[in-house]
Amino acid sequence: MNEPVAPNSFRTGPDEQGMFGIFGGRFVAETLMPLILDLEKHWNAAKNDPAFDAELKHLATHYTGRPSPLYFAERLTEHLGGAKVYLKRDELNHTGSHKINNCLGQILLAKRMGKTRIIAETGAGQHGVAAATVAARFGLPCIVYMGATDVERQAPNVFRMKLLGAEVRPVTSGHGTLKDAMNEALRDWVTNVEDTYYLIGTAAGPHPYPELVRDFQCVIGKETREQMLAAEGRLPDMLVAALGGGSNAIGLFHPFLDEKDVAIVGVEAGGKGLQGEEHCASLAVGKPGVLHGNRTYLLQNEDGQIKDGHSISAGLDYPGIGPEHSWLKETGRAEYVAIQDQEALEAFQLLTRLEGIIPALEPSHALAEVMKRAPKMDKDRIIVVNLSGRGDKDIFSVAKHLGMDI
């Protein structure tokens, strides 16, 4: 918090209008505006309230299990033969991914605002599970909107949410994926403005969501910084993280944005290749547009209609991206690349065999990029990759892709 702010700091956004350059903003129906302004007011009070911070820290320690380890992947490093690879192990968190960091922060905010009903959207179900978990922990009813297609392909997470007491509402509009679930959650919110808190799952949506989700996820980067200084006595040379909406990535990146010697690489889902339609690489091949309350890079056609993405990983299956990433791309501070389904599958298997860690398919994309870069880097260089989720949820779809029966 006491770091000097350089005149050209990358860490001061968003501005008062919720903009990161031309990205972000508050593109919502009038019905929601008073709610969003109210949320902003409560958020500004909460983030300056030591009691709020103390409660969140307590839960992070005793409920989530933070700090998550920063683990030197010795055998992976040896195998790749170049830069040292560290894994930030947010997959060890309670509920199995980084999503819990954000959910705990937001449920405390909801409680503070006196809201009595939680709604959330989910793609792969990781955010849905985390939201259902904190709703159970705080005794609030929770409704999770999930695309009907995703409900089918993520059956174990659907069951988990139900066990946790949440109601899972399959969304059949559109193509029944994350984007449609988000539309439906927004429709619910417009209808139930009085009592409902929308617990959004990624660093996107109308201001102040991109900021507050980022701030709740920044625990990842802050810990990484301290742990790296303790382990190596210096900062890493490169950070790598996968992006769907981009919350785990911004959480790792943000505390390092003004460290100009730290290279930052975000990895999008390249699906079956960027030439066709079957990918989710909105930064690589999309263009700026307005969806779900913010301006950001979107996959869309020449008429401004939003396309459906494709990824082997349901968690990356979103045609947009958090607005701060769009801004980091435009300013050149971060580099964004795409990894294809097949490459992610290979990385998934490699980490499992070499380190005994089964990663989720989402961070497998980041690992695949590390597999490309580490061998070309000197052995005294250091890469940190955010292992944002564990792969237990993915074993069924991986088995299918590998042609195995379980």
Partner 1 sequence: MTDTTRIDRLFKILKAENRPALVTYFMGGDPDYETSLSVMKTLPRAGSDIIELGMPFSDPMADGPAIQAAGLRALKGGQTLARTLEMARAFREEDDHTPIVMMGYYNPIYIYGVERFLADAKAAGIDGLIIVDLPPEMDEELCLPALHAGINFIRLATPTTNDARLPKVLENTSGFVYYVSMTGITGSALPDTSKVSEAVARIKGHTDLPVCVGFGVKTASQARVIGAAADGVVVGTAIVNAVANVLGPDGQTTADPAEAVATLVRGLAEGVREARVAVE
Q: Give SS3 for 79.
A: helix
Give whichever of 143 and 186 is closer to partner 1, judged by the CB atom.
186
Residue from 84, 88, 91, 99 carrying the catalytic annotation: 99
Q: Which of residues 35-54 bind partner 1 (CB under 8 A)?
A: 35
Q: In angstroms, what is the C-alpha Rg of the chain? A: 20
Give whichever of 33 and 402 is closer to partner 1, judged by the CB atom.
33
Bridge partners for 206 per DSSP: none
* Count of chain residues binding partner 1 (CB under 8 A): 37
Location of structure tokens 């990663």: 359
Q: Which 8-state DSSP code applies to residue 306?
A: B
Distance from the first to the final alpha carbon of the chain: 49
Give whichever of 94 and 115 is closer to partner 1, judged by the CB atom.
115
Q: Does 27 participate in binding partner 1 (rule CB under 8 A)? A: yes
Q: Which two tokens stand for residue 353?
A: 């065999």
CB of 297 to partner 1, least distance (A): 12
Binding segment for partner 1 among 7-15, 25-33, 218-226, 352-360 (CB under 8 A)? 25-33
Give the residue, chosen from 113, 136, 148, 190, that forms a contact with partner 1 under the rule CB under 8 A: 190
Give the residue, chosen from 291, 314, 328, 351, that forms a contact with partner 1 under the rule CB under 8 A: 291
Known active-site residue 99: yes
Q: Does 33 participate in binding partner 1 (rule CB under 8 A)? A: yes
Q: Does 30 participate in binding partner 1 (rule CB under 8 A)? A: yes
Q: Does 304 participate in binding partner 1 (rule CB under 8 A)? A: yes
Name the phi and psi angles at 167, rounded to 5.
-100, 125
Give whichever of 293 and 322 is closer to partner 1, judged by the CB atom.
293
CB of 194 to partner 1, least distance (A): 8
Q: Which 8-state DSSP code applies to residue 203?
A: S
Per-residue burial over 207-237, b if 16 or more Cβ lie within 10 Å, else e, is bbbbbbbbbbbbbbbbbbbebbeeeeeebbb
144: left (phi over 0), alpha (psi -120 to 50) or beta: beta
Give whichever of 40 and 90 is closer to partner 1, judged by the CB atom.
40
Element of type H or E holding 390 = none
Q: Does 314 participate in binding partner 1 (rule CB under 8 A)? A: no
Known active-site residue 121: yes
Give the residue, chosen from 69, 137, 165, 192, that forms a contact with partner 1 under the rule CB under 8 A: 192
Cβ neighbours around 354 below 10 Å, total: 16
Give whichever of 197 and 348 is closer to partner 1, judged by the CB atom.
197
Give whichever of 110 and 370 is closer to partner 1, judged by the CB atom.
110
CB of 119 to partner 1, least distance (A): 14
Task: Please enumerate in sequence order all residues whose Cβ is within 8 A of that of 52, keeping only pairs 6 or more positions apart, or say none.
Answer: 46, 108, 112
Binding segment for partner 1 among 259-267, 297-305, 326-334, 369-377 (CB under 8 A)? 297-305
Q: Does 31 participate in binding partner 1 (rule CB under 8 A)? A: yes
CB of 320 to partner 1, least distance (A): 10
Query: Omega of the bond prior to 208 within 30 degrees of 0, cis?
Result: yes
Q: What angle do CA 80, 366, 345 make, to 5 degrees?
A: 80
Give the residue, chosen from 12, 44, 61, 173, that forms a contact with partner 1 under the rule CB under 8 A: 173
Known active-site residue 397: no
Q: Does 17 participate in binding partner 1 (rule CB under 8 A)? A: yes
Element of type H or E holding 258 = none
Name the phi and psi angles at 226, rounded to 5.
-65, -45
- What proportions of the chain, in percent to the nearest 5, are helix, strand and coil? 50, 20, 35
Give the residue, chosen from 296, 300, 311, 386, that forms a contact with partner 1 under the rule CB under 8 A: 300
Q: Does 114 participate in binding partner 1 (rule CB under 8 A)? A: no
Distance CA 171, CA 174 (A): 8
Q: Which residues make up the interface to partner 1 (CB under 8 A)? A: 17, 25-35, 173-174, 179, 182-183, 186-187, 190-193, 287, 289-293, 295, 298, 300, 302-306
Catalytic residues: 99, 121, 388
